[in-house]
Structure 1
Amino acid sequence: MKKLLAKFVDEVWYRDHFIGTWLMPLSFLFTDIAKFRRWLYKKGYKPVEKLPVPVIIVGNITLGGTGKTPLVIYLVKQLKAAGFTPAVISRGYGGQSASWPVRVNAESDATLVGDEPLLIAQQADCPVAVGPVRAESARLLLQNEKIDVIISDDGLQHYALHRDIEIVVIDGERRFGNNFCLPSGPLREPQERIQEVDFIVCNGGTAEENEILMKLEGADAVNMLTQQRKPLAEFSSTNSHALAGIGNPQRFFDLLAKQGLACQTHAFPDHYAYTERDISFKSAQAIFMTEKDAVKCQSFASAQHWSVPVQVSITSSFMQQLIALLKT
């Protein structure tokens, strides 16, 4: 059911604009509520908590993934190399912990803390905490760690937390869909909101004026059972399947195709909770998945299963500008 709903929504928001127009009255109402809610925070009618360290928001204005988490991991590594001590907070979407906030480490259970925070903890090697109230997660880390900057994975619309730098990530291929706000389109806020942020990062596609182009590149696969690493090109003549439960699964399938793989593809909703049956294909010699999917499938993966690590490629001037802004 969830897969069918995701497919229907994708069709309405990004392909068949006619259907979306029937929901426009609700979208107008949603837009007004979003604007009024933000106005309440701006005018001080709703409290905004300011932390003792700078906060960088990495978010988006569309529903669904745009590539924020790989950028967060990249930012953590780059900031550490520049002498900072960063930490990450997140909503922990999909996590089923009995209490919040929660510390996340490399051994945490994705079903409790969420897939993206676990991936960040495993790859970025920094303090990570999750919870619906991001300021509470930040305080948890500040009480126990020496931190000089906090990165929020998502949270652009979480105005209860003061932010010093805002980075918006957009999907360079799908952009803003039909340009409507929810529910007739994918926008969480009107499109003009991005003109107020500090950096607009375009993930793939063609960057427009004032946008910074980011590419996610991957040429290898890592076996989820043995940790063997092989070039993707070596699987070009293999009977392969590929699955992805991310915001835009086609982006992952295109990455594999660029490496010469002709996979049978299986798209799942973002943050999908996999079972062993979901990732089992009897005829497959190799089954590829994103790292985000892999953290949820590790416990029942077989020698058939391979995760595909990706690296962020972005102009070096972006970090130079970000660090300069952070220091001010």
Structure 2
Amino acid sequence: MSLTDILHRAWQRKGLLSTLLLPLSWLLEMVVRYKRRRFRHRPELGYQSTLPVIVVGNIYVGGTGKTPVVIALVQALQARGWQPGVISRGYGATVGDHPRTGQGQLDPANFGDEPALIAQATQVPVAVHPKRSQALQQLRHTYPQIDIVVADDGLQHLALGRDLEIVVQDARGTGNGRVLPAGPLREPVDRLQDIDILITNLQPGQIAPAPANTRARQLCMHLAPVKVEQLSTGLTLDWATWHGQHARQTMNAVAAIGQPERFFAMLRATGLQLTQTVALPDHDAYAISPFSALPDAMILITGKDAVKCRRFNDERLWAVYAEPVFSDPEWLDYCHDRATAIAAQKTGMADEPRRH
């Protein structure tokens, strides 16, 4: 069992290890609360955009399923007449001093795997930089047609003003309710009282945690496969067609995401028999192929991994693209309505840069 697995297990209860780490958590919590109060009372310290800004993030460390939510939100906004742009940190890429922008097929080495996947799935402009306000400004400069911004992650990046906050969690909820390192939270659990929407991402058969103490709209989601692509040929089939042709075949699965078992469980829930599964670290660069050691059979990978694995030209690789199914799909209309009202309020505003 890895150190990460040990910590995540410890973070589900208030045991001895968690209690011993509490003094460090208290220090972090003090810093987090101070920073949030400072930006709340002095919004001029941050960058306030004239466009509506929606942040999709989490307070639980690690992967909870933000990227599928970002893609679904962007596509819903597009369907309702918006021209969205996406900003992200660009985790895993060396961005440099200046924000990097692009659209369509992007190199994950330059943008990060998640921004590359978002750009591929939505075809909207994307900008990456650790300072999200700089990414937003460069995005608007390069693509002046955008009229709304979705931030992939960045809930804790307080220098970026935001109008709506969406938090994605999974079945672990808030764990033991403690802040790092005694618990899994980046911020105190009462942070959920200030957000607008809370989405719980569940695997097949999982039970949602108890509703959070928050005014936010709360709903659940699960991921369902919708299409499959053979990376070496580009052959793309809808899930039902592909499943009907290949479900009885021997196959393996590889995933380099925050919770690889979530991907494997989704596949098994459709009746697939996975001979071998390989869980790699989140954002693994695939510097060398992990597939050569696997038996000579079909290998299923995630869409996030596909943006980095196409270069292997391995005919065994099939990318499974999944989409979220929401218990309350009307939350997307809610975001549209809120963004429309916010855009009307911001008409005539001038962008306010961060003041030092």
TM-score (normalizing by structure 1): 0.92
For 2:298, give the aligned amino acid.
A
Task: Measure how far apart 1:313 and its partner are.
Answer: 1.5
Aligned twin of 1:246: 257
The counterpart of 2:279, out of the listed 257, 267, 289, is 267
Please list the CA deviations of residues 197-227 of structure 1 after superposition, one character each: whole Å capped at 9, or x if unmatched. 1111111244554511122111543211112
Change in 2 beyond 3 A, CA 1:196/1:101 = same
Segments of 4+ moved more than 6 angstroms? none
Confirm or deny that 1:303 pairs with 2:315.
yes
Aligned twin of 1:225: 232
Confirm or deny that 1:56 pairs with 2:67.
no
Confirm or deny that 1:78 pairs with 2:90.
no
SS of equivalent residue, structure 2 residue 45:
coil
- Equivalents in 1 of 2:300, 2:15: separation in Å? 32
Aligned twin of 1:313: 325
Aligned twin of 1:290: 302
Identity of aligned residues (%): 38
For 1:90, give the aligned amino acid.
S
Task: Measure how far apart 1:51 and its partner are.
Answer: 0.6
Please list the CA deviations of residues 1-56 of structure 1 after superposition, one character each: whole Å capped at 9, or x if unmatched. xx944334334334894433321211111111111111121222881110111100
SS of equivalent residue, structure 1 residue 87:
strand
TM-score (normalizing by structure 2): 0.85
The counterpart of 1:237, out of the listed 248, 251, 256, is 248
Contact 1:92–1:132 (8 Å) recurs in 2: yes
- Equivalents in 1 of 2:90, 2:28: separation in Å? 24
Aligned twin of 1:154: 153
- Equivalents in 2 of 1:319, 1:270: separation in Å? 28
SS of equivalent residue, structure 1 residue 316:
coil
Aligned twin of 2:137: 139
Contact 2:106–2:120 (8 Å) recurs in 1: no
Q: Where do 1:1-328 residues align within 5 Å? A: 4-14=2-12, 17-44=15-42, 47-145=45-143, 146-171=145-170, 173-204=171-202, 205-207=206-208, 208-209=210-211, 210-218=217-225, 220-228=227-235, 229=237, 231-232=242-243, 234-263=245-274, 264-314=276-326, 315-328=328-341
Aligned twin of 2:348: none
- Stretches of structure 1 that go unaligned for 5 or more consecutive residues are none
Contact 1:88–1:128 (8 Å) recurs in 2: yes
Aligned residues: CA RMSD: 2.1
Please list the CA deviations of residues 299-321 of structure 1 after superposition, one character each: whole Å capped at 9, or x if unmatched. 11401111110012223311121
